[in-house]
Amino acid sequence: MKKHLCILVCLMLMGAVAQTQIHAPSLPTKQAELLTWKTYSIKHEQISALFPTHPAMTSTQRHLKSLNKWCTDRMIGAYADGVVYGIYIFENPETKQALEGFIGDQSGYHKWEASTKRSVKVAGVDGTEYSTSLDEKMPETVQFISANERLYKFTATGAPPDDPGVKQFFASIALDKKKGIEVSDGPGL
């Protein structure tokens, strides 16, 4: 008797779970999620961009011996759907490091495919883009520009350049302080 009662209860629970799954709302597609991205502006900087979630930010100090000056660099990033979206800002004072030199310095950390190099405009400023597919599971697109006494590196890691989220992120970058949610040092969501 106990055995039959236990089987009956299990069947009723399975039916309830199945019924719930039939009526459960479907998850929004990635395309629909693009509409939920918000504009974030970076505290102490003249830049804003769309991010899928509230981004984290870390500011660090770097000493330029040639100018005997401390510079502030910032890393801003958010993660969604297996993709990391990042903005790296490097103060570029009076010495005005050339963009190509900056790209060369950055390429020591990454191996972008030279054949993917192309000219781009980011927020109306001429820049350079690279992408890589050395690891099929971890494609990366990176764009570089120099503006406002800053060197900028924008990255999307985890999706190819034609991914709708990647395209939206790069297209949203603005070099003015648009109204948006202000990001300061601290963890994201």
Question: What is the DSSP pairing of strand 38-42 with strand 181-183?
Answer: parallel
Question: Would you say the pTM of this structure is higher than 0.75?
Answer: yes
pLDDT of residue 102: 86
* Gap between the Cα atoms of 89 and 31, Å rounded: 29
Q: What is the band of 7 on the pLDDT scale with cuts at 50, 70, 90?
A: very low
* Gap between the Cα atoms of 99 and 96, Å rounded: 9
By CB atoms closer than 10 A (0-12, 13-18, 19+), residue 54 is middle
Q: What is the band of 156 on the pLDDT scale with cuts at 50, 70, 90?
A: very high
Q: Can you say how many angstroms the Cα of residue 97 is from the centroid of all Cα atoms in its chain?
A: 24
Tokens 């990391």 locate to 84
For residue range 26-81, list pLDDT tens digits in order: 334 465 589 999 999 998 899 999 999 999 999 999 888 777 889 999 999 999 98
Candidates 89, 27, 38, 26; CA nearest to 60 is 89
* Gap between the Cα atoms of 2 and 172, Å rounded: 63
Higher-confidence residue of 97 and 122: namely 122
Candidates 129, 111, 112; CA nearest to 120 is 129
What count of other Cβ atoms lies within 10 Å of the Cβ of residue 159? 22
pLDDT of residue 27: 39
What is the average pLDDT score of the chain?
Answer: 81
The whole-number average pLDDT for the span 165-183 is 90
Asked if residue 126 lies in contact with residue 145, where contact means CB atoms within 8 angstroms, the answer is yes
Candidates 166, 186, 161; CA nearest to 80 is 166
Q: What is the band of 11 on the pLDDT scale with cuts at 50, 70, 90?
A: very low
pLDDT of residue 168: 96
